[in-house]
Amino acid sequence: MEADFKLDNTDKFLISELIKNGRIKYTELAKKLKVTPVAIKERVERLIKLKVIQPTVLLNAKIFPIKAWVGVEGDAECVNTIWEKLKTCPLVESLVRTSGTHNLVLFLVAKSLEHLETFLNNQVRNEPGIKHVDVNIGNNILPEFTYIRFYTNNQKYLPCGLKRTDKNICRDCPMLEGG
């Protein structure tokens, strides 16, 4: 698999500086590179347009103190169903289709071990076609800040696509708290 873009040393420098401090001023970057702030702005906008970077807000990982790496072995239909069901779930940091022991690996966050267990039982283990689920749990998380999907409670639909009134929603979904 090859990327649709090539990064030069300036791109790499900008990305590394933005990773360290996403709020750094273009004027400061321009001074470091001895170019104009407009040149920096154009570079950053090009990187965004090419989907090389995405400006975002990271949350402190301690909001969800449990981190789990879940390996799923199942038939193709089962893996596709889980993928579609969980691709917008706020508890899922990432989904990775794999080859080897597992067909799918999920990186999840949870409020507690009970929360994690309930989620896995209701959203993963009960899917027809599941052969095996491996769960590895951690609670000491780096990096300190991480990307977690967070949505407002005033939306009609939950991030997973279900309506708030559907009976098969996750009762422990953080999107239902306070709303």
* CA distance linking residue 19 with residue 55, whole number of Å: 10
Tokens 């990773």 -> residue: 19
Is the pTM higher than 0.85? The answer reads: no
Q: What is the pLDDT of residues 29-41, one digit of tens each?
A: 999 999 999 999 9
CA–centroid distance for 150 within its chain: 10
Sheet with 92-97, strands from edge to edge, namely 92-97, 104-110, 66-74, 130-138
Q: Does domain 60-173 have CATH number 3.50.50.60?
A: no
Indicate the length of the chain as a whole number: 179
Q: What is the pLDDT of residues 114-128, one digit of tens each?
A: 989 988 998 899 999
- Second-level CATH architecture of 9-49: Orthogonal Bundle (1.10)
Spell out the domain ranges in the chain: 9-49, 60-173
